[in-house]
Amino acid sequence: MTRTAHELDHRIVGDDIQCVEITLDPQETVVAEAGTMMMLDDGIVMETIFGDGRGQTQGFMDKMLSAGKRVLTGESLFMTTYTNRTTGRRTAWFASNMPGKILALDLREYNGRLIVQKNSFLCAAKGVNIGIAFNKKIGTGLFGGEGFIMQSLEGDGMVYVNAGGTLVQRDLQPGEVLRVDTGCLMGMTGGVDYDIQFVGGIRNTLFGGEGLFFATLRGPGHVWIQSLPFSRLADNIIASAPAHGGKSQGEGSILGGIGRMLDGR
């Protein structure tokens, strides 16, 4: 079957902190988030675009709408395209911003639509629609946290997403329910029903340390779960950083050592 999106070849390199090599034929284009490019062959032209990467198929108002949607997800108004302007094949490399895995997914194998965490998207073939997926349920909107506004990837091209830590995949049967930490939900197919559930219980709420809400996923569909969301990694780094430079508070002292033991460090 002929794609409407550009045809991309790829190679994923590395084990725990991966990068992806995209091979572009002449005039082929890959669309990427800002800050993900690692290196380029000579002859690949970089261009900042307004909107979601579909290019000439969009009118001005469509571009304004797609850019506004990206702002709601916390992303930039702009994306970056990388086009091979030579007569031979060239490569562009893109890297993840956290330890984990990069997945190469063909949207044709998922009925043309995937829903992923907003910071999971790395790059995609030109022609893929990179928008947002709102959940209309008010509970999800008010309490979904990281999982409330997710990115919707639509089309028939290749997309590349990154998952933090270890990746677990599950196929949910019709009616099967899985409860997940909202940050650990990396992505899902379009048919999965997504909502928010209160953890419940005073002790769980005050001392559980897992947040107040679960994401509940109801099948049928495929889900991707990540063990180390970027926000959790960032929080751990900030919590361990010295408050005013130098050694952390209590470091090297008896009280500091006891505090780290009690804190599980």
**3-class state of residue 236 by DSSP:** helix
Note the pLDDT tens digit of each residue in 126-170.
999 888 876 655 444 444 444 457 889 999 999 999 999 999 999
How many distinct structural domains can be found in the chain?
Answer: 1
Q: Is residue 98 part of a domain?
A: yes
pLDDT band at residue 15, thresholds of 50, 70 and 90? confident
- Please check whether residue 180 is in contact with residue 217, taking contact to mean a CB–CB distance below 8 angstroms: yes
Supply the pTM of this predicted model.
Answer: 0.78
Q: What are the pLDDT digits (tens) for 24-40?
A: 999 999 999 888 999 99
Cα distances (Å, whole numbers) of residue 50 to 55, 143, 155, 160, 211: 9, 31, 19, 20, 36
Question: Is residue 92 situated within a structural domain?
Answer: yes
Q: In this structure, is residue 250 part of a structural domain?
A: no
pLDDT digits (tens, 9 = 90+) for 227-252: 988 666 666 677 677 765 555 554 55
Domain of residue 87, CATH code: 3.60.160.10
Asked whether residue 161 is domain-assigned, the answer is: yes
Range of the domain at 73: 9-239
Instruction: Answer yes or no: is 126 within a domain.
Output: yes
- Which residues are CB-neighbours of 32 under 8 A, at least 6 positions away? 79, 80, 81, 82, 94, 122, 123, 124
Average pLDDT over residues 163-184: 92
265 belongs to a structural domain: no
Share of residues in the chain with pLDDT > 90 (%): 46
- Comparing 80-84, 97-101, 165-169, which segment has the lowest mean pLDDT? 97-101
In a domain, 245, yes or no: no
The pLDDT of residue 42 is above 80 = yes
Residue 64 binned pLDDT confidence (cut-offs 50, 70, 90) = low
More confident residue, 255 or 225: 225
Please give the span between the terminal C-alpha atoms of the chain, in angstroms, as a whole number: 54
Q: What tokens does 57 get? A: 């198929």
The length of the chain, given as a count of residues: 265
Q: For residue 257, tell me if it sits in a domain.
A: no
Cα of 65 vs its chain's centroid, Å:
21
